[in-house]
Structure 1
Amino acid sequence: MCNHHPSRRRALGLLAGVSAASMMLPARARATDAPRIDLPEPAPGNICPVCGMFVAKYPEWIATVAFDDGSADHFDGAKDFFKYLNDMPKYAQGRTAAQITGMGVTDYYGIERIEATAALYAVGSDVLGPMGHELVPLLNEADAEEYMRDHKGKALLTFAEVTPALLANLDQGRFE
Structure 2
Amino acid sequence: MKIANGSLFAAELRADDGQTLRFDALRCALAARLDGRPTATLHVHEYYDGRVREVDDSIVFALGSDVMGPMGSDLVPVAKAQMTKFAADHGAKRFVLLREIDTAILTQIP
The bucket for the TM-score relative to the shorter chain is: 0.7 to 0.9
**Which ranges of 4 or more aligned residues in structure 1 deviate by more than 3 Å?**
none
Shift of 1:67: 2.3
Please identify which structure carries the higher strand content: 2
TM normalised by structure 2 equals 0.87
Q: Sort the Cα spacing of 1:105 and 1:67 in 2 relative to 1 into closer, same or farther, 3 A.
A: same
Size of the aligned set, in residue pairs, is 109
Report the Cα distance in structure 1 between the residues aligned to 2:60 and 2:77, rounded to whole angstroms.
6
Determine which of 66, 91, 96 is the counterpart of 1:126: 66
Please identify which structure carries the higher helix content: 1
Structure 2 counterpart of 1:139, which letter? Answer: A
Is 1:73 matched up with 2:21? yes
Determine which of 33, 56, 78 is the counterpart of 2:4: 56
Identity %: 28
When the two chains are superposed, the root-mean-square deviation of aligned CA atoms in Å is 1.7
Q: Structure 1 unaligned runs (5+)?
A: 1-52, 89-95
Q: Structure 2 unaligned runs (5+)?
A: none
TM normalised by structure 1 equals 0.57
Report the Cα distance in structure 1 between the residues aligned to 2:25 and 2:83, rounded to whole angstroms.
18
8 Å CA contact 2:11–2:44 kept in 1: the answer is yes
8 Å CA contact 2:10–2:22 kept in 1: the answer is yes
Report the Cα distance in structure 1 between the residues aligned to 2:15 and 2:28, rounded to whole angstroms.
17
More contact order relative to length (CA 8 Å, sep ≥ 6)? 1
